[in-house]
């Protein structure tokens, strides 16, 4: 479980560019949840996730990861960083090994695991991410952008973190690459009952399709936190803070405003098509 209590963070204290990046964050993320974080640039999303594996420590307040108080002086930060794996933006830029296999093995190797265990983890993570056996001996630099990104995620996964954080995992990918990654996130969530998965996204469509819970950041504080339904039902508020709802939701909201009887929680094209077919069926029967 991740717990944040009154977390504040100030960049460059006492300098001309001093800026409060996080303001009084209080939140709890339960084991096994799949959470999306949204918010415009500079809203504090990245600063927040860096707190979750103690890359950054709060200026004031408390962060607890699986019961370890990150803020206390004698906290075992090495352990925290093993528990919490972060996949940064454009993680493919961090690939460096000669082969895909070695790149995925880098983390587990540093953990001092036996060769058999490393081998088992590399193959398991690769399989999970849809990386073919024959690609393991290839240079990561010969792969496509989407494939490289999956190798980078496999490398973090091979450390078997209890929290997996992905910062904009689909940025810059084509639609097929994007859908592949989102499917993998869902699959990881289904197969790992206790793992917390957190991903940052700018795409409301992706969030609506994939996440269970949503944290909305705005100017350094948590503006909203709730289920996809709870958050996307507040489309006006989201637009006020520079965010949006999926295009299809904007359309069905408009239809509802015009008096059509549609359900509230429509976020995907399939849901919208279903609901509109029902309405149209009503028309024909009349």
Partner 1 sequence: MIETCNLSFIYRKEDIDTGKVTEELALKDLSIKIEKGSFTAVLGHNGSGKSTLAKHFNAILLPSGGKVYINGMDTLDEKKVFNIRQCAGMVFQNPDNQMVAAMVEDEVAFAPENLGVSPKEIRRRVDECLAAVNMTKYAFCSPSQLSGGQKQRVAIAAVLAMKPDILVLDEPTAMLDPMGRREVMETIKRLNREQGITVVLITHYMDEASQADRTIVMDDGEIVLDGTPKEVFKNVEKLKALGLDVPQVTLLAYELRKSGINIPEDILTEDECFDALNNVLGGASR
Is 263 a binder of partner 1 (CB under 8 A)? Answer: no
**What is the pattern of x (binds partner 1, CB under 8 A) and - over residues 89-128?**
x---------------------------------------
Q: Using CB under 8 A, which of the segments 40-48, 115-123, 128-136, 183-191 binds partner 1?
A: 40-48
Give ∠ CA 12-91-163 in degrees, rounded to 5.
80
Residue partners of 174: CB distance under 8 A and separation at least 6? 146
Strands (E), 132-283: 163-167, 196-200, 213-218, 221-227
Q: Shortest distance, CB of residue 30 to partner 1, whole angstroms?
A: 27
Of the candidate residues 32, 42, 130, 226, the single one contacting partner 1 (CB under 8 A): 42
Listed in order, strand segments (DSSP E) in the chain are 2-11, 19-29, 34-38, 60-65, 68-69, 84-87, 163-167, 196-200, 213-218, 221-227
Q: Return the residue of 57, 138, 202, 209 that touches partner 1, per CB under 8 A.
A: 202
- In the complex with partner 1, the residue whose CB is nearer, 41 or 72, is 41
Q: CA angle 202-92-268, nearest 5°?
A: 30
CA distance 96 to 217: 33
Residue 206 binds partner 1 (CB under 8 A)? no
Q: Which residues bind partner 1 (CB under 8 A)?
A: 17, 40-42, 89, 144-146, 171-177, 202, 204-205, 242-244, 246-248, 250-251, 254-255, 258-261, 269-270, 272-273, 276-277, 279-280, 282-283
């Amino acid at each position: 479980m991740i717990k944040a209590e009154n977390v504040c963070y100030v960049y460059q204290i006492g300098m001309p560019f001093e800026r409060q990046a996080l303001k009084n964050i209080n939140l709890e993320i339960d084991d096994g949840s799949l959470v999306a974080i949204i918010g415009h640039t500079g809203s504090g999303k990245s600063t927040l996730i860096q707190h979750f594996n103690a890359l950054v420590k709060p200026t004031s307040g408390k962060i607890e990861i699986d019961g370890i108080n990150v803020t206390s002086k004698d906290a075992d930060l090495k352990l925290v960083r093993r528990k919490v794996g972060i996949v940064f933006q454009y993680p493919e830029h961090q690939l460096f090994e000669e082969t895909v296999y070695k790149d995925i093995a880098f983390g587990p190797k540093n953990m001092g695991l036996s060769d058999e265990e490393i081998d088992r983890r590399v193959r398991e993570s690769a399989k999970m991410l849809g990386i073919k056996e024959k690609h393991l001996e290839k240079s990561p630099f010969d792969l496509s952008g989407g494939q490289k990104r999956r190798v980078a995620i496999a490398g973090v996964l091979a450390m078997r973190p209890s929290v997996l954080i992905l910062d904009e995992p689909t940025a810059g990918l084509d639609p097929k690459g994007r859908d592949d990654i989102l499917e993998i996130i869902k699959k990881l969530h289904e197969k790992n009952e206790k793992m917390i998965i957190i991903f940052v996204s700018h795409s409301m469509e992706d969030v609506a399709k994939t996440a269970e819970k949503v944290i909305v950041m705005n100017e350094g504080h948590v503006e909203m936190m709730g289920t996809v339904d709870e958050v996307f039902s507040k489309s006006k508020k989201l637009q006020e803070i520079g965010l949006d709802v999926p295009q299809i939701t904007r359309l069905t909201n408009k239809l509802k405003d015009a008096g059509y009887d549609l359900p509230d929680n429509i976020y995907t094209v399939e849901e919208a098509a279903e609901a509109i077919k029902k309405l149209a069926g009503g028309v024909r029967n009349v």
